[in-house]
Structure 1
Amino acid sequence: MRVPDALAFVRLMVTNTLASGVCVNRARTGTGSSMLGDLLLTLAEYLNKARRPAARAAIMAALKARNAAIEGDAQTVDAFSRDWLGLSDPVGWRTAVENALLGDWVDHLGRGVLRDPDLAKLLRLHSKIEHRYLQPLWERKVHDRRLRLLQDPVANGLLLADLLTDHQRPEDVVLAAELADSRLSAVLRGLAPQEAEVALVWASDQSATWRQAAAAVGHPDPEAFGNRVRRKLKSLGTRHTHRAQQAAGTRAGSR
């Protein structure tokens, strides 16, 4: 019999016993009914307490750990992680557990939505989610394979980057696709070779100025030459846009 069912049964027995004590000769049965009633009430009180301490302990421990997270009490949070969440490395999970404790689970207390036995499971799940969010990308797994940093040592003083056979960077692929744009090619054709080189240096480094781009290609007067390339590119871009609009208008009129 489950505890709630047993409790209801005991209460029913107490009621029947006390009722029967009224009907029977009190001089003869009053003492026995009183003793039996006291015994059953004691048993009911015990069963009523027996079904609640673990649940109350879980809630109280979680609320205490939540308050500890707010106050910066790391030891209490770690103790909750170890004792209630079953985490063997409380220090490594501390931030994740604190984030889970500070969640909105407390809003559901007293509403009957969050059952006490499920509280530890819920906080453990939220802690795992927070822990994954806090993990660096190179400590995660993608399709059951762990990522590695290019700076990771391999052997004999070598890094993982030293073993690569293709040194092409992602930005190289992106820039190559940009240069394949016919509009960009049309504008660059209007520049002299050294001017085009300055434009490419400036485009590949967002923090570079036109003067720095001109200096990077070795021009003796980088300030003047960089401004010259900038003005020329602006003029060529405006001219190309104007011609493209005219061509589009001509095609539309011929339809």
Structure 2
Amino acid sequence: MTISRHITGWLMAAPLALVLALFLVLPIVMVVVVSFWGATEWSIYPAFQFDNYAFLLGSEVTYRVFFNTLKYAAITWAFTLIIGFTVAYFLAFHVRSLTWQIALFLLCTIPFWTSNIIRMISWIPFLGRNGLANSALISWGVIDEPLEWLLFSDFSVILAFVHLYTLFMVVPIFNTMMRIDKSLIEAAADAGASGWQTLWHVIVPLTKPGIMIGTIFVVALVMGDFITVRFMSGSQSANVGRMIQNDIGLLQYPSASATAVILLITVLILIGTLLRFVDIRKEL
């Protein structure tokens, strides 16, 4: 009987395992293999060499681009965490009605019913030199001439990232906060804890798994995003995703694969480091 259940379990898991093997594991293996191939200006040839990695790791440009990518990820993470935690806290502890919680949560998701590109590009007429933001500031007398740094700058890139990915921080934090026993909040208040003490010593520690899940989502998405950096920086800034895109555009697939492998390893190291601080398995 036990053997039969064991075989049944494997058979039930086989379709999903096959899909993951074909559409996740196999493409990654192919990228790793191609990263060791060689390339000339007119051809790509199979080989096993470390020229692509040696060139990338020996180039100062690579380190600058990776630093820029990590900078975008860190700043975006900080803003999405602050906004996401605040929104989730309000929904979980200040909105008493379940109906209103659902309604307000759905309201937060309305912008995500459209394409990421549409939501990103919608910032351009708002932040442009003659856009709504500059026009309003000039009409109010705050500035005398349009602000050039609002668009096609790191500011616009990070603003777009925060807009695109904040919900990925709100959802796991809100889900974790809804599982917190409200009697713990009441016990902290009865023990004389202030609101800030309750927040810092009770709510934040119990919300760490949700924060960690949101962090993984945001960091992974920002580090792999290239289209946002291209449009919102006016092609004046670069990240690792843009490096890969440029290599693919030049048909330099081995170099693009090597960059993708290094990016994958970097993201996995970051995620592995985060998982050492919090056990998120109880949230899954």
**Which is higher, the Rg of structure 1 or of structure 2?**
1
Question: TM over 0.5: same fold?
Answer: no
Q: TM-score, normalised by structure 2?
A: 0.20
Q: Which has the higher contact order (CA 8 A, sep 6+)?
A: 2
Q: TM-score, normalised by structure 1?
A: 0.21
